[in-house]
A and B are shown apart, each in its own frame.
Chain A
Amino acid sequence: MLLGIGAVGAFLAIDLGAVAYANKWIGPEGTLTRETFMAGFRKVFGLHPGFRRNHAKGVVVSGYFDSNGSGRDLSKAAVFSRGRTPVIGRFSLSGGNPMMADAPATARGLGLAFTFPDATQWRMALLNLPVFVDNSPQGFYDRLLASKNDPATGKPDPAAMSAFEKAHPESAAAMAVIKQHPPTTGFADSTYSSLITFFFVDDAGRRTPVRWAFVPMQTALPPHPGTTNSLFDALVRQLKSGSLQWRLLLTVGRPEDPVTDATLPWPTDRRTVDAGVLTLTGVATEAPGNARDVNFDPLVLPNGIEPSDDPLLSARSAVYAASYRARTGEPKSPSAVQVDEVAP
């Protein structure tokens, strides 16, 4: 009798203990989890139900990519064969407040999903920066907290930011690089970069480190100063009067180039391959069933593109998933950028 009860007790202790440990109900504290990031966004930006936890403010676009076939030498991905691929996407501004006023210095994002919703897709979340600010999930988290606006001044606490830069010299160095590339007029004339390195795999299985960027082929309409959605409105106006185009440039890394640290720029003399042209033709307000409901998870990759070991990749995938799960279960309210309300 005692043997049986003891065995059951031992089994339950191990079984349920393993479950509790896996769920982090017990065990060491202090490791970053997706919940840490969710709480961090909540703390810094407040809770905005139904919106992305970061890059909350955005507008939806659609178009296509015309490949010229040149990328095929680097990657066997079908998207690089000569021909046209449908694309959906979303322009955004960094930050978790979906109603904030547009500011030129705020990082501009472009999420793209090639061949959505096919069985193979290529998704990416790009920024108008030359390098990324952080090279680790911890760095991102620390910077997020340091960037919290002081309620008294409405600006981040300078002491917190300088403490962050002291603790993260890699981010301080990246910010110096970013300072040398001031933001352009608007969304339409920004260069959007992968920042993170991926490996392109050709038919023979040869792996090449690649960073890519979409380089604008037009100037941007100037934003109307003093309006809340100045940058978005200018983009919407421009897209209503015609399509916008970006050239996809693949930058080919050399063996000595860093592949797991997105704060480090590659030398400017690296070979680039012009793989084709992205044309955006449509613009729409965020709505059910459009790119509002797409998670631009950078690990959704076609055969022929593989992730590097950059620690930001898995972290982004995890935190994006947490944000997606949270917001899909929350009540929705209208997005700040209403395409119909923008005069052409």
Chain B
Amino acid sequence: MSTPARYPLRTRILHWVTAVLVFSMLFIGFVMVNSIGSYAALRSIHMTLGVTVLVIVVLRVANRLTHRAPKLPDTVGWFEHKLVVGSELMMYGLLLAQPLVGWAMVSATGKPVEVFGSLHLPRIAPFNADLYFVLRQTHSLLAFVLVAVIALHVSAVLLHTLTLRDGMLSRMGFALRRRDAPTNSANMDTQEPAAVQAAVRERTNAANTGRHRGPGRH
């Protein structure tokens, strides 16, 4: 039983923080455009979280260039490998584009771009109603593309992890059974925050179960 290849700790933390934020962002975004009473409050939260996601994703891109991805399980063939690389690139592209489109869209209305209560960001697009409309439609389109891509991404990882039992999820997971399995080497996971642990405990447990089932798949 070998320790699975994982992304570096900082990459895994950034990944799960982004996952929580982006899921919240999509949900808040869909709710707010249908809401009357909570629209204003949700819009403030949405714009603030959007800028936060943008900063985190820029950090992630910079961070991602500092290391290679851990080896994929043997279950991933040549063609699927291409899909994995392509989907990762697409995800980064979408996560960068969506907040930028949102920011530009507000800019094009000529409105101030206000986040964190009272921080005013510069406008990044000229005041232009036609441009606003294109950006506004794009923002909705990208939201639905993100929903689809995230659904495919999670489904693929779940299928690999639970059906092929190849430990796919553990590349992004945290070692939570260290006391049970103290012989595991390469413990880079000594400082992960409790909240992140909790968020992924179930899936990681499932992954661990798969991994501990036997040596067969490796």
Binding site for B on A (CB under 8 A): 1, 3-5, 7-8, 11-12, 15-16, 18-19, 22-24, 32-35, 37, 113, 116-121, 137, 288-289, 292-295, 297, 299-300, 303, 307, 311, 313-315, 317-319, 321, 324-325, 328-329
* CB-based contact A311/B37 at 8 Å: yes
Which residues of chain B have C-beta atoms less than 8 A from A35's C-beta? 34
From A12, A18, A117, A319, B36 is in contact (CB under 8 Å) with A319
* CB-based contact B127/A117 at 8 Å: yes
CB-CB under 8 A for A329 and B133, given A12-B151, A15-B150, A33-B34: yes
CB-CB under 8 A for A299 and B112, given A16-B151, A19-B147, A33-B35: no
Which residues of chain B have C-beta atoms less than 8 A from A3's C-beta? 162-163
From B38, B111, B130, B150, A121 is in contact (CB under 8 Å) with B111
* CB-based contact A137/B37 at 8 Å: yes
* CB-based contact A314/B154 at 8 Å: no
In the complex, identify which listed stretch (B24-32, B55-63, B178-186) lies at the interface while the others stay far away: B24-32
Which residues of chain B have C-beta atoms less than 8 A from A289's C-beta? 127-129
Which residues of chain A have C-beta atoms less than 8 A from B35's C-beta? 33, 318
Minimum CB–CB distance from A299 to chain B (whole Å) comes to 5
Docked pose: A321 CA to B40 CA in angstroms? 11
The 4 closest A-B pairs by CB, nearest first: A4-B163, A22-B30, A4-B162, A318-B39
Chain A residue at minimal CB-CB distance from B165: A4
* CB-based contact B147/A8 at 8 Å: no
Q: Is the interface of A mostly helix, strand, loop or mixed?
A: helix
Docked pose: A16 CA to B155 CA in angstroms? 12
* CB-based contact A315/B37 at 8 Å: yes
The verdict on B85 contacting chain A, using a C-beta distance below 8 Å, is: no
Minimum CB–CB distance from A80 to chain B (whole Å) comes to 17
Chain A residue at minimal CB-CB distance from B38: A314
* Other A-B pairs, 9, CB within 8 Å; known A22-B29, A314-B39: A4-B164, A16-B147, A19-B30, A22-B27, A23-B34, A288-B129, A297-B111, A315-B39, A317-B39
Docked pose: A297 CA to B31 CA in angstroms? 20
Q: Is the interface of B mostly helix, strand, loop or mixed?
A: helix
From A4, A8, A22, A116, B110 is in contact (CB under 8 Å) with A116
The verdict on B70 contacting chain A, using a C-beta distance below 8 Å, is: no
The verdict on B158 contacting chain A, using a C-beta distance below 8 Å, is: yes
* CB-based contact A8/B40 at 8 Å: no
Chain A residue at minimal CB-CB distance from B164: A4
Could you list 30 examples of A-B contacts with CB < 8 Å?
A5-B163, A11-B151, A11-B155, A15-B154, A19-B27, A19-B147, A22-B26, A22-B34, A23-B34, A32-B36, A34-B36, A116-B110, A119-B113, A119-B120, A119-B122, A121-B111, A121-B112, A289-B129, A293-B110, A295-B109, A311-B37, A314-B38, A315-B36, A315-B37, A317-B39, A317-B43, A318-B39, A324-B109, A328-B133, A329-B136
Chain A residue at minimal CB-CB distance from B120: A119
Minimum CB–CB distance from A195 to chain B (whole Å) comes to 17
Docked pose: A116 CA to B162 CA in angstroms? 56
Which residues of chain A have C-beta atoms less than 8 A from B122's C-beta? 119
* CB-based contact B111/A19 at 8 Å: no
Docked pose: A5 CA to B162 CA in angstroms? 8
Docked pose: A321 CA to B164 CA in angstroms? 48
Which residues of chain B have C-beta atoms less than 8 A from A12's C-beta? 151, 155
* CB-based contact A300/B130 at 8 Å: no
Minimum CB–CB distance from A119 to chain B (whole Å) comes to 4
* CB-based contact A313/B40 at 8 Å: yes
Which residues of chain A have C-beta atoms less than 8 A from B128's C-beta? 289, 293
